[in-house]
Chains A and B, each alone.
Chain A
Amino acid sequence: MRRHIDFYLASMRIAVLEQIQYRAQNYFYMIGMIAEPVIYLVVWSSVANQQGGSVGGYTAGSLAAYYIVWTLVRNMNIVFTPYGWEWRLQHGRLSAELLRPVHPIHYDVAYFAGWKVVVIVLWLPLAAVLALIFKPTLNPTWLQVLVFFLAIWGAYLLRTMFLSLLGMITFWTTRVGAIYELYFALELILSGRLVPMTLMPAWVQRVAVFLPFQWTFYFPINALVGKLGPQELLSGLGMQLLWILGGIGLVNIVWHYGIRRFSAVGN
């Protein structure tokens, strides 16, 4: 256990050091990324104002809070993508990683977790500017803040597992971009990334309950911005945990067969 913690800390340190080297690139990426929630925010604020001040229970101020928190959750949701898996296999990087006595996914989780440290530091001034412009309404309880902190890391782990599953398809197909784009489209609709889930049609909300997406976007944002009671907050964390454990199980199964195929073909 102690060895694992040491490995995680060392990998996170490497990520921080590398990402600090590219701080300007990171910043421009984050500024570019803000365009997406700002567009959603402007559109839905207009709708709310036209409907007498609120839409689906969200006022202009709470929508501002939703999409400003969205920017942090979106950054927390950046993980090793299926495109990364393609690169890893095509360039023989996986071979080097397989020689280590540590599972490559541990390194992915640790490295991107380290990256988040840099991201959060860079996000703070951007969030302050957005707050000055859009004046969010945000009055969370201490429990909400605590659950939000846990939920953004839960979302990170959950998305890591499911994108790793997609990435491992490259063991069989070499390329996985098209499948990732399909996943991305589903995520956009079913996660709360496009709009808060309560603004979606009822049937979409019913479908979303049985899928992992909303636990990566909607739940963490809503944990801080919404009006969830202690039971809803804790059961949300429980749902995240279930999906993470399910994801780990699936990752192990797919890895078992995928690595056998990789070892048969090699690179």
Chain B
Amino acid sequence: MDSQKTVISVNALAKYYKVPTRDAGLKAAAKSLFNRSYNTVKAVDGISFNIEAGEVVGFLGPNGAGKTTTLKMLSGLLHPSAGQPQVLGYSPSRRQADFLSQITLVMGNRSQMSWDLPALDSFELQRAIYGLQRAEFEKTRDEFIELLEIGELVKKPIRNLSLGERMKMEIVGALLHRPKILFLDEPTIGLDVTMQRRIREFIAEYNRRYGATVLLTSHYMADVEALCKRVIVIHNGRLLFDGGLSQLLQRFSAFKTISVTAQEGSDLGQYGDVVGNQDGRITLRVPKADASQVTARLLAEQRVDDLTVADTPIDDVIEKIFSQKSAEGDLP
């Protein structure tokens, strides 16, 4: 990898927490006053990866996998227990002003805007915080307002906006200083599909226009599919996969999905696992290697009105990876 283009470098990054534990009840509470026991939680346990300038990378994992902890370490909010990361050549935990001026962290469930004021006033504060030149600030602000079509909304107090509208304001506020690195933690959480799409388009446009690097966590696979060519999957704090989205599907999806509209009463169970049956359309899951053979048999042996073959949806693949790994308790 060309080190000149590497903007995020993570090597054996770890974050361990010492958490007090006790049983339920008064007796246990009293005992814990004198003899407290602790567990060490390995929130992030030695992950390594590099991200190059301009990449948009999906950072996937189930709840508690260590995604947010990693983003917090990369943005300087948490000191790592081991493995000092480098972001734009800075050590994030030192939180130097020059570093903070070049990054942003958007957390979908946290607000940085003034609740009582129109977003325009909060944007003005952002200008002062980052010491932006007024002309440059106004150009960026108006550009973002136009891209997200929020010309009227920015004049209303934040408290009068819907969740999705507020999220748009958050994102504009977080990007006014045109950061080179975007850490986005569930930026579309709780939003309807239209709003999710609009925010995805905006992130894609920002990446294209400014060449920014994006590390994105999301539980919505549509976000990942639309934005990320590369994904990093972590589970129980450890790296499970780092590569192209298509490679992820190849590696972890051993099945294809065949959707068939056949004559009523047809028994298709003999061709594969029936995983869905809706309005006469039956969905079969078959091993990838057998897919072409099963398709041929279906067409030859059944009266088929319609048939499609597709890769297993990415949501199902991810869900399967996580459930498998949870059952195994650790990585291979």
The segment from A90-98, A161-169, A189-197 found at the interface with B is A90-98
Given contacts A10-B127, A265-B17, contact A99 B114 (CB under 8 A): no
A17 lies within 8 A of chain B by Cβ: yes
A175 to chain B, nearest CB (A): 16
Q: Is the CB of B117 within 8 A of A17?
A: yes
Q: Is the CB of A101 within 8 A of B129?
A: yes
Complex interface: chain A residues within 8 A of B124 (CB): 10, 13-14
Q: Which of A3, A6, A260, A266 contacts B77 (CB 8 A)?
A: A266
Q: Which of A6, A22, A264 contacts B128 (CB 8 A)?
A: A6
What is the predominant secondary structure among interface residues of chain B facing chain A? mixed
Which residue of chain B lies nearest to A11 when distances are taken between CB atoms in the complex?
B125
Complex interface: chain B residues within 8 A of A7 (CB): 128-129, 131
Q: Is the CB of B101 within 8 A of A9?
A: no
A231 lies within 8 A of chain B by Cβ: no
B97 lies within 8 A of chain A by Cβ: yes
Q: Is the CB of B77 within 8 A of A98?
A: yes
Q: Which of B78, B93, B100 contacts A99 (CB 8 A)?
A: B100
CA distance A45 to B249 in the complex (A): 84
Contacting B at CB under 8 A, from A214-267, are 260, 263-266
State how many residues of chain B have any CB contact under 8 Å with chain A.
32
CA distance A6 to B130 in the complex (A): 10
B96-131, CB under 8 A of A: which get 1 and which 0? Answer: 011011011101001010101100011011011111
A127 to chain B, nearest CB (A): 27
Which residue of chain A lies nearest to B99 when distances are taken between CB atoms in the complex?
A101
CA distance A263 to B117 in the complex (A): 31
Given contacts A96-B110, A263-B77, A265-B17, contact A21 B116 (CB under 8 A): yes
A206 lies within 8 A of chain B by Cβ: no
Q: Is the CB of A101 within 8 A of B130?
A: yes
CA distance A14 to B119 in the complex (A): 11
B72 lies within 8 A of chain A by Cβ: yes
CA distance A21 to B130 in the complex (A): 26
What is the predominant secondary structure among interface residues of chain A facing chain B? helix
CA distance A11 to B104 in the complex (A): 20
A18 lies within 8 A of chain B by Cβ: yes
B155 lies within 8 A of chain A by Cβ: no
A228 to chain B, nearest CB (A): 39
CA distance A9 to B128 in the complex (A): 9
B229 lies within 8 A of chain A by Cβ: no
Q: Is the CB of B110 within 8 A of A10?
A: no
Which residue of chain B lies nearest to A2 when distances are taken between CB atoms in the complex?
B131
Which residue of chain B lies nearest to A260 when distances are taken between CB atoms in the complex?
B79
Contacting B at CB under 8 A, from A123-155, are none
A98 to chain B, nearest CB (A): 6
A33 lies within 8 A of chain B by Cβ: no
B296 to chain A, nearest CB (A): 56
B139 lies within 8 A of chain A by Cβ: no
Given contacts A18-B117, A263-B93, contact A102 B129 (CB under 8 A): yes
Q: Which of A14, A99, A102, A265 contacts B117 (CB 8 A)?
A: A14
Q: Is the CB of B79 within 8 A of A101?
A: no
CA distance A17 to B128 in the complex (A): 16
Contacting A at CB under 8 A, from B117-175, are 117, 121-122, 124-125, 127-131
B76 lies within 8 A of chain A by Cβ: yes
B120 to chain A, nearest CB (A): 11
CA distance A22 to B114 in the complex (A): 14
Which residue of chain B lies nearest to A8 when distances are taken between CB atoms in the complex?
B128
Q: Is the CB of A14 within 8 A of B125?
A: yes
A247 to chain B, nearest CB (A): 23
B22 lies within 8 A of chain A by Cβ: no
Which residue of chain B lies nearest to A6 when distances are taken between CB atoms in the complex?
B128
**A-B CB contact pairs (8 Å), 16 listed:** A10-B128, A13-B121, A13-B124, A14-B114, A17-B116, A21-B116, A21-B117, A98-B95, A99-B104, A100-B100, A100-B129, A101-B97, A101-B98, A101-B129, A263-B77, A263-B79
Q: Which 5 A-B pairs have the closest CB atoms?
A: A10-B128, A101-B97, A263-B79, A101-B100, A3-B131
A residues with a Cβ closer than 8 A to B are: 3, 6-7, 9-11, 13-14, 17-18, 21-22, 92, 95-96, 98-102, 260, 263-266
